[in-house]
Amino acid sequence: MARIIDGKAFAEGLRGRIAGHVARIARDHGITPGLAVVLVGEDPASQVYVRNKARQTVAAGMASFEHRLPADVPADRLMALIDRLNADPAVHGILVQLPLPRHLDATMVINAIDPAKDVDGFHTTNVGRLHTGQPAMVPCTPLGCLMLLRHHLGDLSGAEAVVVGRSNIVGRPMAALLLQDNATVTIAHSRSRDLAATCRRADILVAAVGRPGMIGAGHVRPGATVIDVGINRVDDGAGGTRLVGDVDFDAVAPIAGAITPVPGGVGPMTIACLLANTLTACCRRHGLPEPADLAA
């Protein structure tokens, strides 16, 4: 039976280390890292995410600034807010909650954020930096996956890694990070031929597809480490819903060497890494050494 990679416990430890650094920076330098979150509209899922982000930001000792705008906000008003946040010295990280209403161009909005404050790592400058091996702000979910992989496997050099999914939020940055850690990386997607055979080559299999239980026993090489990024809400058969991943956990766990559960695997790492990125942005802004133990 696979080892369970406990992302919830790891994220808790990471948040604790971040809180320690935040307290030290406040004591020694009188600086409080600040994260501004911009929410446009009333999307219920986004509201829950934003609430959780604010709660965990404050719990880590950071300053949390929340900006809520109506769904029909004109683009120029949103851009003016981003300009103000870019110029605000108390704000080290800016996150615009996605998805945005249709009338707003998400790429234009994200690219209006100062890349040094782009804690989601979605700005074209940060994407380019990541893919050219330069220091960048790295998207939170793949960063969390990388931390879990390093923690459980140590050196990833030479490992065969297969990432299923090529989104800008998860799949592509995940592949870039694995490549940076010297894995041999394959990216699979909806047009890939014989996905199962490709996946079976993997020592490290990352599923970021958005299809419940799509990765089954036939996709996994015995002993592989399986990271399930998927978060899918499905019928629980009792009139309610439950969360499942992209991996058929019950079928894969007896074969894999290690596996992240859903919930409690990758999910909790995302906000923890957002806090880590905010701390990193703050250290860079003020010329302070970046904490080396965040991924420990």
| Site for ligand NDP, rule CB under 6 A | 141, 164-167, 169-171, 188-192, 195, 208-211, 229-232, 266-267, 270
Name every residue whose Cβ is closer than 8 Å to that of residue 249 and which is 6 or more positions away in sequence: 213, 228, 259, 261, 262
Residue 296 near residue 276 (C-beta atoms within 8 A): no
Name which of 60 and 140 has its Cβ closer to ligand NDP.
140
Q: How far is the CB of 287 from ligand NDP (least distance, A)?
A: 31
Which residue of the set 53, 114, 203, 228 is catalytic? 53
Q: Quote the Cα angle for 102-275-182, to 5°.
A: 90
Residue 220 near residue 252 (C-beta atoms within 8 A): yes
**Separation of alpha carbons 150 and 295, rounded Å:** 8
**Separation of alpha carbons 211 and 231, rounded Å:** 9
**Separation of alpha carbons 10 and 20, rounded Å:** 15
Name which of 31 and 57 has its Cβ closer to ligand NDP.
57
Q: Bridge-partner residues for 185, per DSSP?
A: 161
Which residue of the set 120, 228, 246, 248 is catalytic? 120
Q: How far is the CB of 106 from ligand NDP (least distance, A)?
A: 13
Q: How far is the CB of 155 from ligand NDP (least distance, A)?
A: 25
Which residue of the set 56, 97, 181, 228 is catalytic? 97
Name which of 143 and 159 has its Cβ closer to ligand NDP.
143
- φ and ψ at 40, to 5 degrees? -105, 120
Name which of 86 and 167 has its Cβ closer to ligand NDP.
167
Query: Shortest Cβ contact with ligand NDP: which residue?
Result: 167
Q: How far is the CB of 140 from ligand NDP (least distance, A)?
A: 7
Clarify whether 120 is annotated catalytic.
yes
Clarify whether 53 is annotated catalytic.
yes
Residues carrying an active site annotation: 53, 97, 120
